């Protein structure tokens, strides 16, 4: 099982009393440390909101590429609906060259909508934009010269797309939430799946993951091609009590603010604590408890091959993020690799 960390570069209105420049510098320092202690990957999200500094993830990942040697560098996720697939491929191909073949991307439709008016796109085209741009992105990945036409972008008539990445086939994962059509699409295309599970019970996603695997099987893809990863809100400290107490205040503030936009109830400690239980989606605790919870989640979902911890919605200070990174890299990841084989069985 691959183990990694995702970050949205949280900053504004999160209680972090540092400058944007210092926040990004410390984020690159965290990625460098994650590489040093043997984590498998580090992902940077994409948002166009005041409280996050990740609107240009490939720039952050490029800075990290120059200071790391082994760790894979990925998006988490790229808002493909609001991106030009040609430019996006060029950026990640360049990152792949800089990192000597360590770039990946996770593409999705995005859970926020700010990018659509920002880039002159219509929300009513939410689904068609993603489907069309994913089709083009995959054609660019597989072909140096591309013949293509669509509704939302000027046609390509054989132009070359450069540079080409170092990897023969740049890894592209599909990032999904809870829409069955998204799971089916990923399976039909034979693309690895990254599932964002940020609340409720993780095992409730089993029917959707089964749908992905069955769609992929019917399309002729092998089980080894149909990888499943989980992006989870998580945090590790020396004790479960400390982890929960560290994580809750910033998490509650963030979820309550987002809830105002989406009609969710105010986050309470009772609701938070309920999700810390054996089946709850939050992966928060001491190293042993977190390890056992990930193993349970993997078994309940029929096996997963990747888990990423999303820690910074909790507005944790850099020192706590670094300590959690250390515990994940030196305790959780080795224990998971020992307990689970490559298929997460």
What average pLDDT does the structure give for the chain?
A: 93
DSSP per-residue string spanning 45-107: ----STTB--SSHHHHHHHHHTT-SS-EEEES-EEGGGS-HHHHHHHHHHHHHHTTS-B-EEE
Short-list 23, 11, 18, CA closest to 47: 11
At residue 11, the pLDDT reads 78
At residue 345, the pLDDT reads 46
- CATH classification (class only), 2-339: alpha beta
Short-list 320, 334, 269, 276, CA closest to 3: 334
Of the two residues 252 and 34, the one the predictor is more confident about is: 34
Of the two residues 33 and 343, the one the predictor is more confident about is: 33
pLDDT in tens, 44-81: 999 998 889 999 999 999 999 999 999 999 999 999 99
Average pLDDT over residues 92-121: 94
Based on its alpha-carbon atoms, the radius of gyration of the chain, rounded to whole angstroms, reads 19
Average pLDDT over residues 89-112: 95
At residue 315, the pLDDT reads 77
Decide if 254 contacts 314 (C-beta within 8 A).
yes
* Residue 136's pLDDT band (cuts 50, 70, 90): very high
* Residue 343's pLDDT band (cuts 50, 70, 90): very low
pLDDT in tens, 277-287: 999 999 999 99
Strand partners, 156: 148
Strand partners, 285: 236
Q: What is the Cα–Cα distance from 63 to 28, expressed in whole angstroms?
A: 7
Residue 8, pLDDT > 90, answer yes
Q: What is the Cα–Cα distance from 259 to 192, expressed in whole angstroms?
A: 30
Average pLDDT over residues 252-269: 85
At residue 314, the pLDDT reads 62
> Hey, where are the domains in the chain?
2-339
């Amino acid at each position: 099982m691959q183990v990694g960390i995702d970050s949205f570069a949280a900053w504004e209105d999160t209680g972090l009393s540092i400058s944007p420049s210092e926040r990004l510098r410390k984020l690159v320092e965290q990625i460098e440390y994650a590489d040093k202690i043997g984590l498998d990957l580090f992902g940077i999200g994409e948002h166009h909101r005041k409280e996050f500094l990740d609107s240009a993830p490939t720039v952050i990942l490029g800075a990290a590429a120059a200071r790391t040697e082994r760790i894979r560098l990925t998006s988490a996720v790229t808002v493909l609906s609001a991106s030009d697939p040609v430019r996006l491929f060029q950026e990640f191909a360049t990152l792949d060259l800089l990192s000597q073949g360590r770039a990946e991307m996770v593409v999705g439709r995005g859970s926020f909508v700010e990018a659509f008016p920002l880039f002159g796109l219509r929300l009513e085209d939410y689904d068609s934009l993603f489907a069309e741009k994913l089709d083009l992105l995959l054609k660019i990945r597989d072909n140096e010269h591309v013949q293509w036409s669509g509704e939302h972008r000027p046609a390509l008539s054989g132009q070359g797309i450069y540079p080409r990445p170092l990897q023969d086939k740049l890894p592209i994962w599909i990032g999904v939430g809870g829409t069955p059509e998204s799971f089916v699409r990923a399976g039909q295309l034979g693309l690895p799946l990254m599932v964002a599970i940020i609340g409720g019970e993780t095992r409730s996603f089993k029917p959707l993951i089964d749908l992905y695997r069955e769609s992929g099987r019917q399309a002729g893809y092998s089980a080894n091609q149909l990888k499943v990863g989980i992006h989870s809100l998580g945090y590790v400290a020396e004790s479960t009590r400390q982890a929960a107490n560290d994580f809750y205040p910033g998490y509650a503030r963030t979820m309550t603010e987002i809830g105002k936009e989406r009609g969710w109830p105010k986050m309470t400690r009772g609701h938070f604590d309920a999700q810390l239980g054996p089946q709850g989606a939050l992966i928060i605790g001491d190293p042993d408890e977190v390890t056992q919870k990930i193993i349970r989640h993997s078994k309940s979902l029929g096996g997963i091959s990747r888990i990423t911890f999303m820690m910074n919605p909790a507005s944790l200070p850099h020192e706590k993020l670094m300590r959690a990174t250390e515990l994940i890299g030196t305790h959780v990841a080795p224990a998971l690799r020992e307990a689970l084989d490559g298929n997460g069985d």
